[in-house]
Structure 1
Amino acid sequence: MAPSFFLLFLVSSAPLMLAAAADGQGGEPCPTTVPVPCGKVNISFPFAIVPEEATTTSCGAIGFHVVCPNNIPFLGYNRHSPQFQILYIFYGNASLLVADVHKLQDFNNSTSEHCMPRLTNSSSMLGLPFSISAMNQELILYNCMKPLPEEVWRREGLAEMSCGNKTFVRVAADLSDDSGGYGNYFLEGCDATVMPVLARSGEANASNYKELISDGFLLTWQVPPLSGGNRKNKEKMILIVSVSMSVAASLLLPCIYMLRRHRKRETLHLFICEKTSSNIEKKIEALIVLHGSLAPKRYKYSEVTKITSSLNHKLGKDGYGMVLKGRLDDNRLVAVKFLHDSKGGEEFVNEVMSIGRASRVNIVSLFGFCLEGSKRVLIYEFMPNGSLDKYIYSENPKAVLGWENLYTIAVGIARGLEYLHHSCNTRIVHFDIKPQNILLDQDFHPKIADFGLAKLCRTKESRVSMTGARGTIGFIAPEVHSRTFGVVSTKSDVYSYGMMLLEMVEGRKNVNSVAQKLSEKYFPHWIYDHFGQGDGLQACEVSSEN
């Protein structure tokens, strides 16, 4: 049977399957539909808390039973030894965050023979109505028969585990499907255990495997069959769903016919784009909720338009979006950045989570954000003197900063980087340090801005796991461009900082090229040429008028 007509058959038959499932669910009406708290998690439909000693229940939906021992919510698969602790339920996204406590117990029990977790994949313990979200990554744990040579486990991107020199771990870039089977994880002489972990903005580093498991992974669920409640209400709901799905089936046939007439490439492109957009939306929603109080204030889009409407003043525009000047209700001036749809995915999450974690005088403050459908907006503190590049690249000597101001700015930027790299609870690597991303307040004190390319990692990590180069040509560290030059770390920001210092002290009298071309110059050659001419390095002083 062709896939399209199989899909039509499935949709057409769904009402009958729904009715059959409902007929098999007898029992008394549920006592209440009001959300019930279990610890910090509110349990409501389709979930339902059931007593631990109960053998059957008519409450909740099939597969959505929750047990609550010691006020801790667990999925009710195994009531005597619950395995999946519920950390958070996203009812709006039909998803939930869970942690595999059996794996955690293996790690935390140092006297156990299972320091290496039991060779049971978490996904094999789950079934309908749940599925593992594509937002997760895969944590692969290896238990080898003998120690691996260092060059082997480094080549394979493995990190050593605390269980001994025969156990290793790595993080796969993406959640793979089942088509590849065990071959995706095969390592000669080793057994593999695969676990999903949530991919949070650069935190998924292999050596953090205990924290990754503790943080949990994301599940999604499908709308379940009805269970429990009044029989008449159930039959009424079945009738409504049956009619609705029958109508949908009748409309689906011509749609399938039209889709099959399009070229395969166009159909595939449409599918990929829609799926990617949906995943980005869910990822943004989940990450923002997960970080709770760490996230800045969330504004409605109507509030954002009100903030900017009073001034209607455009501050600038770049590849990521347009920036307008605005004013909050407390009369504070702000810079409001409207992100383009195509640039509002990972960049948006990085901005909210990175600046939301960093609070210091040399880091620009993020007052709030807006996420409403395709609209993504960031609200920063307003910096009256703009960005550093308009001073060091200016053709007007009066607008150029002198040595004293340049030194103060350089020290301020260095302090900001030191805070991001070492003093923040989560280490942050900026990856785009350049004059355009340094903003100046009314006293010309610098603040680091634009965290769209930033990566977050644990404070104990000295290396950063990433794929692909990021940054601006002329400021990118060699190891970011190609791993053959070394590992990516906080030192990559230090390299960019050094290149920016060279531009700060370059002096506009000696350069005739426009600002956009400056980052393309190879500075070692430029410095050599100037010292060879006896010019040295120069900078214009700020006039008394400034």
Structure 2
Amino acid sequence: MMIFINCANPVNSPLYVETGTCLNGEKSSNVSLLRRSYVNVGGMKASDLMELCSLERMTLLPVKDYKNMPYKEIHSQLAYGFELSWHNSRCGSCAYGCYIDDSNRKHCVGGSWRWITPAVLKNGSVIIAILQGAKFIFGSPFVIAFLIYKWRRRHLSAYDTVEEFLQTHNNLMPVVRYSYSAIKKMTGGFKEELGKGGFGCVYKGKLRSGSSAAIKLLGKSKANGQDFINEVATIGRIRHTNVVQLVGFCAEGSKRALVYDFMPNGSLNNFIFSQERAVSLSWEKLHEISLGVAHGIQYLHRGCEMQILHFDIKPHNILLDEHFTPKISDFGLARLCPANESLKSLTAPGGTIGYMAPELFYKNIEHVSYKADVYSFGMLLLEMAGRRKNLNALAENSSQIYWPDWVHDQVSNEKAIEIGDGSTEEEQKIVKKMVIAGLRCIQMNPLNRPAMNEVVEMLEGDMESLQLPPRPVLNLDEKPMNTCGESSSMSDYSSESVSLIENAYN
């Protein structure tokens, strides 16, 4: 309890602490001429009240040790405040509780805002709470509306980019544009899923002619639709035995799809890694497939008006038709490159680890060229020759964890490569040819890798004419040639990249 006392005469008592300030707005100099102000902390008896003294104010104080408390501490405790509470039983018949006003009169709370009286609003924390609540209630819709606006602007920009590209080159692309409803009808409501990749799901469908098709439904693009533009711009106008055929496409707002010829034998990935396949490919057929893939990449690099860099050659992206003819697919990362110019920008490297050339992620290597595809093909070739992943942490022998190093040592020491029981001498030559060609392709320095026309010659020629290259070692001090490419610290796809693709049609 804190009691403020006003006295006419000075008081000398430990129960009375002089305030040293004024009450009722009077200055201390005037107080000394009129009456003196004291404060008592802890409570006092009626007999302790001195003559000519009167009680001015009383208030509760949240303090237990109040003996010998100086006025400065008393002021601090008073400024800190106190909590006033009472039991609900004091509210009597009030249904929602009650409060006491300045005149100590009880008022019931009626479950509405009517209980907020001027007395209650004197509490600043209540006002702050009300303002914060109002800010949240009325501000949230505006924040949500702003986020929706930004999201729509970003996606509309992507839609505009795709639509502008399609309208500009509508007469130059010999492919069919389908509506989304037609795509849905062809797939029977996306009933049969063939596979799933980094850019979306692939479903089996049927064209009006009755032939089967593979329809890739693209997912949400992080590159403003550039993956869609890349595929349409590259394989939309080229024809080659070893490149998958684009039949048509769909572009309706955020819904995009690509329609390809159906490949009944799926991907090469299933035949060289899976042990459960009923059909096992012979070494002659694997060699034939590797040569077909090499011809396809050679065509992309040299057979078009502009070089097409695939950037994602791997077994999963090599499809096989009913005759096991290989078809290069998935051009979502592909880039067009002028024959005698450098690209101004490339997207951030997004190929598959294990097949990506070192220049795609080592900043010390300055330029990216078609030799990146050569490296990826080399890794593919070695996996075909070993019928296993190049990196296998579960290999029985620790020396065989990284297949390229192990097989290099085998050939270097003139040891036979294990390709299964009952293999013929001709099959051994085929595997050794594929291994040496693959090791040539995966040299760390792009300067030391052959072009794809040389790879074709190696696979078609005699094994005796091939020389084993050094074991691939990364030397970051060597700088590769600037055949076509830009710094591997690649920027995001810019509008200039779209212009480059568009120029391929002009």
Question: TM-score, with normalisation over the residues of structure 2?
Answer: 0.50
Q: Larger Cα Rg: Structure 1 or Structure 2?
A: 2
Structure in which a larger fraction of residues adopt strand: 1
TM-score normalised over the length of structure 1: 0.46
